[in-house]
A and B are shown apart, each in its own frame.
Chain A
């Protein structure tokens, strides 16, 4: 990348950020839905997950990451601590001991409908695709703004590399383009993960809850949280018991900064104009005073 293109990207990125480029694809109309312009996602049924970590292994295989050992002995030690996703593990499964027994929860990027990270990214490396995938490109400059802006603490930085980038789950974007299911969904032995359009999986999640009211908590995590996400979770226990934040609210993250981002261009363009006007006014005032002064002098001179 030469200096010119770099500046171009930075320029467009900053311009994009300052004009408050808000994604509105989450609020799709009925017409868009029928025409297939829908977000895709995964429904995670935590009551079905058995903690085999095959999704972790499949994810590593597909993305060319270090292959995790998922044998039974290793699993026991791995589950002793609550893990976070890393730059080498896009999905991790954690074990929670709750009132309804042991529950395993796979954790990865939630692919928000209106992601904070894409708005925060100054180079537009983080993108929300029209199909719902939140992906990253190679033009990441490593500013780590996306890490700060993510409510789920998902994007991870390659601290170990000389030319570091951000890494996270991209909902198997490359496989999606070929029309193949995400790797984790394909290998799940209990169908705890179900892929489909967001509408399909939301419907199915609601159906499961209504059919088994004793089994599930009447809530789908991700339906409204931070404006909706493409990863939806079902659970048998209240979500705060299995490591989900309760304080996220339903407002999309970009909207918190939208007022600021919208006023920046106004202020940036209007302030110079205003100042110019003020200075012009002052100048005019001074000049008119000068003129009056001169006129007086002239009059005095006449007398």
Chain B
């Protein structure tokens, strides 16, 4: 009897286990489908999410149509939604005031301001916006992203503004935009010739020297980040201009402009019936007008005048008590090869030695002047920037294999240093040419002639290309002083002072493997790696396939015969055995 009971008990337990297992398996729901963010065009709509305050959002974010509101409040003006400071200038904050702190206060401020206004205009029987949750927090907005490309204020824009300001105020008044802050008197002031970029004080994330840090601290306490002040500064001025443009009405445009602006500012073309559009100067306030996502290249900016701050065109960099000679530096030509002053002047626009002394100062974060000019990996240093240029595909063919010059090592030779540390101004060297040298037109390479027809290497064509690349670049022209520099790109281990002729590849690279050093490049491998490496680095599509260099053997396909032949020779050489076979 008891055995029957036990059996029953066990079987019931078993059933329960199976049932619970099955329910467990089927109760696991499908994982939530992962939604991917959808990018959409910007078209003057602003995404309101504030995840930095709210964290994960309870409801979908709001996509706010700024343009619509702008048009609706044309008469009332921007101050309907944005607060105004003591000087009657707009501050681009929304909502106007937030009472209290924390998530709830921010949420309440947003809701109050939006919904109240919508309700009000609804009561006045005007066209109005939504007042219920889901009409703003639409589901389709949940994963929407509206990437706003960074606005770039390049030399072209700067130049345009300089011109307009001059016409408007009659003199070079840089103080309209540029200012500095006096920490003692606690006020802004501007002084000609000491203009700085916005980021030097308003880039709040960057650490800097004691002098600037004091100013940045003030900016940080007021929350004046670059993003905020660029909108405040630019938009306030633009809005002012826009207002005057909007209020012209039926008046004659010529009458207004007559006294202030020259005719050829608008009538650029020869035909005086044509003029540039008014928006060329009176810039509208659409987001996409500044945040274009298109950036001018240095080539396009080549003819644009650079900001004049009284800098010298050509100078001789001289550090007091330095053991090295002075370096001639052409500031003007370097200006043309960058898109912003801050490419080199990373903090203030003062000269390098203002912060970087021989021993290092706190202003320069303790980086001494030698490192400031020579640091390999810094983008602002001479060496760092030049190394970056050498990594471009035109230069990389040779320079990938030449170790970058690092003054921290024993690597540089005297002539490397003296090409910059000349102690006097050096004229630009003449463009390179190999006239007068006996340059082979074509080289036949026969290493693989048992398998293929001899390869023909267009020696002179390759040199022509290198000469062209070198002469096209100002940097290369300056540093490639003679034609042998180019030869050394391929004939890499030559000692030009000792040799009458550039060495052939086979002088060092043996057909066989090196008996002492198996890692040494054999001739076959030297050819393949040198040619293909350069073609790869310079992004040359030619010469990547076997058949482009090797024509099929006219006698027909053959075995790789040299393996067996080598066997016989090697069996007798004992030194070979030492490497691969010790016994």
Contacts and interface: CB of A to CB of B under 8 A. Distances in A.
Contacts of A195: 518, 580
Contacts of B315: none
A29 B450 CA distance: 45
Nearest to A181: B580
Given A72-B547, A196-B580, A191 B525 contact: yes
A52 B566 contact: no
Nearest to B525: A191
B571 A178 contact: yes
Contact of B552 (A71, A188, A196, A200): A71
A52 B571 contact: no
A48 B524 CA distance: 13
B519 interface: yes
B213 to A, nearest CB: 35
Interface residues of B, number: 33
Nearest to A176: B581
B525 A200 contact: no
Given A50-B532, A72-B546, A200 B518 contact: yes
Interface of B: 448, 513, 518-519, 521-522, 524-525, 527-529, 532, 545-547, 552, 557, 559-560, 562-564, 566-567, 570-571, 576-577, 579-583
Contacts of B577: 179
Contacts, number: 77
- Size range of the interface on A? 20 to 34
Contacts of B557: 69, 71
Contact of B513 (A52, A186, A200): A186
B559 A194 contact: no
A57 interface: yes
A147 B559 CA distance: 32
Contacts of B525: 188-191
Contacts of B581: 176-177, 179
A-B pairs, 8 with minimum CB distance? A36-B582, A191-B525, A179-B577, A179-B581, A190-B528, A189-B528, A189-B524, A72-B547
Interface of A: 36, 38, 40, 48, 50, 52, 54, 57-58, 61-62, 67, 69, 71-72, 175-181, 183, 186-191, 194-196, 200, 204
A176 B580 contact: yes
A61 B450 CA distance: 15
Contacts of A36: 582-583
Given A72-B546, A179-B570, A196-B580, A57 B560 contact: yes
A199 to B, nearest CB: 12
Nearest to A186: B563
B580 A179 contact: yes
19 contacts: A36-B583, A48-B529, A71-B552, A71-B557, A72-B545, A177-B581, A178-B570, A178-B571, A181-B513, A186-B513, A186-B563, A187-B560, A187-B562, A189-B528, A191-B521, A191-B529, A194-B519, A195-B580, A196-B519
Contacts of A67: 559
A184 B522 CA distance: 14
B570 A204 contact: no
Given A179-B576, A196-B580, 10 more contacts: A50-B532, A57-B560, A69-B557, A178-B571, A180-B566, A186-B566, A190-B532, A191-B522, A191-B529, A194-B519
Contacts of A72: 545-547
Nearest to A55: B560
B555 to A, nearest CB: 14
A194 B566 CA distance: 18
B528 A180 contact: no
Contact of B563 (A50, A62, A196): A62
B560 A58 contact: yes
A58 B563 contact: yes
A58 B579 CA distance: 22
A194 B518 CA distance: 7
A40 B580 contact: yes
